Structure 1
Amino acid sequence: MPVPAAEIDDYLRTLGQRLHGPRRLRADLLAEARDSLEDAAAAYERAGLAPVAARRRAVAEFGTPGELVPGYQAELAAAGTRTLALRILVVAIVLLSSADLMWQGAPWTGVRPPAGYLALSASLDLFWIITGVLAAGAWLGLRYAARRGAPVRLPRLLGRSMAACVGLAAGAGVTLYAWSLVMWDAAVRWPPMLVGMVATGVAFVWLAGAVRGCLAGTR
């Protein structure tokens, strides 16, 4: 017979309020904790304890939220940082390999942009290369460190560094697009340019979700 879970619910609610990070992983961790608590309570009840006493004993032996939060939070921080690193790597590869498609055959082809525009464009490409390398290193490093008990400072340092890179890339990308629209009126009606802007916007929204989860997990 299922064990009533009032005490277990209260315990998990308290634990969940103290955890921050990717929602899906947080829900998974709490679900695993619930399964363990309910199994333990059911075993104590079969051993002869009353349901309320069985639940209370299971909760007491599981550990206080204060004891469990550091380990769970470290796992959430590392997972959020790995997710951000993987998304950055995907976006960097896609942008670097397909960005030129927006300009091929454009009506303004042959018109040389000013030196500042060219410098910004080249810098943005270089920035994405550096950011992609950082993301790849962070993902591999955290996977390696996970086997050895990664310190909390490592996901925090890597996560915040990558979040800053995403913010800078977004600012530079918006500046470049806006500059393009100002210089070439036809860019507003050029289909590859419009598709590229929409796709890039979707990519940054996708990255923003990972940034939010990463910063929440490492705060």
Structure 2
Amino acid sequence: MSADPIEDYAAELTTALHGPARAKSRLVGEIRDGLVDAVAAQTAEGLPYRQAVEQAVREFGTPSELAPSCQQELTIAQTRHTARALIVTVGFLIVCWYAIWTASHIQGWQLPHAVQLLTAVAAAAGVLAAATLAATGPLTRWLPVPDRLPLLVGWAGTTASVAMPFAGIALAIALPLATAWPLILLAGGFTVASHAVLATSARVCRECARLPIC
């Protein structure tokens, strides 16, 4: 515990919330600044500092009281973060795989069925991600965000993060290394990096979706 009850308040709220670090920092910062302003107004009228803090907290609500509404905002932010990661990684990797395929110059060669299936899974997740960005963006002016959407996006991100590395491996094995190895190397490196980013974002999204909101 710090010497300043407002900092303790902000720290407790920060611990209770989950979501994108930047969005959480901004949200907690706004609440903290509001508390500071409220306390300053009270102390200007002669109220002792700690009593002013207690009164401001009664007006704002305790961290446990604020957490559900704050978490709702952060859950949507995390869902959008995961959706954007899905679109970027899936789109880039599909372009890489297509470039590898066309660069192989094998007459009549077809993508292995496993690659086609796994690519279709990743592409479907990408379509869901695009729909999610629309549903959690301007459309919220008219339509509420579906309750199960964050969890669905979280699992879609996890599924895509698993499918893409396997598709990349299957494609690399099926192609002659000598004809496309620079692209295979590029796609392989990006697949590993994107898997780590997307899998982490998807896991946090699932965790956020299970937290109480209001």
Same fold (TM over 0.5): yes
Structure 2 residue 185 is matched with structure 1 residue 194: yes
Structure 2 residue 205 is matched with structure 1 residue 214: yes
SS in 1 for 2:148: helix
Contact conserved, 1:77 with 1:155, CA < 8 A, in 2?
no
Q: CA deviation at 1:200?
A: 2.3
Question: How many matched pairs?
Answer: 209
Change in 2 beyond 3 A, CA 1:6/1:207: same
TM-score, length basis structure 2: 0.82
Structure 2 residue 49 is matched with structure 1 residue 55: no
Change in 2 beyond 3 A, CA 1:105/1:93: closer
Contact conserved, 1:159 with 1:218, CA < 8 A, in 2?
no
Aligned counterparts of 1:87 and 1:162: Cα–Cα separation in 2: 11
CA RMSD of aligned residues (A): 2.8
SS in 2 for 1:153: coil
Aligned-partner residue type, residue 71 of structure 1: S
Match of 1:134 among 110, 128, 147: 128
Aligned counterparts of 2:151 and 2:115: Cα–Cα separation in 1: 28
Structure 2 residue 100 is matched with structure 1 residue 109: no
Unaligned runs of 5+ in 2: none
Aligned-partner residue type, residue 126 of structure 1: A
Q: CA deviation at 1:209?
A: 3.6
Structure 2 residue 83 is matched with structure 1 residue 85: yes
Q: CA deviation at 1:92?
A: 2.4
Change in 2 beyond 3 A, CA 1:198/1:184: same
Q: CA deviation at 1:70?
A: 0.9
Where does residue 179 of structure 1 map in the other structure?
Answer: 173
Aligned counterparts of 2:44 and 2:81: Cα–Cα separation in 1: 42
Match of 1:12 among 10, 28, 48: 10
SS in 1 for 2:46: coil
TM-score, length basis structure 1: 0.80
Contact conserved, 2:18 with 2:24, CA < 8 A, in 1?
yes
Superposed CA offset, 1:29-83 (max 9, x none)? 1111110000110110111112222222212221022221111111111111111
Aligned-partner residue type, residue 153 of structure 1: D
Q: CA deviation at 1:87?
A: 1.7
Aligned counterparts of 1:74 and 1:199: Cα–Cα separation in 2: 32
Determine what percentage of the aligned residue pairs are the same residue: 30
Q: CA deviation at 1:139?
A: 1.6
Structure 2 residue 196 is matched with structure 1 residue 205: yes
SS in 1 for 2:193: helix
Change in 2 beyond 3 A, CA 1:101/1:167: closer
SS in 2 for 1:21: coil
Change in 2 beyond 3 A, CA 1:147/1:42: same
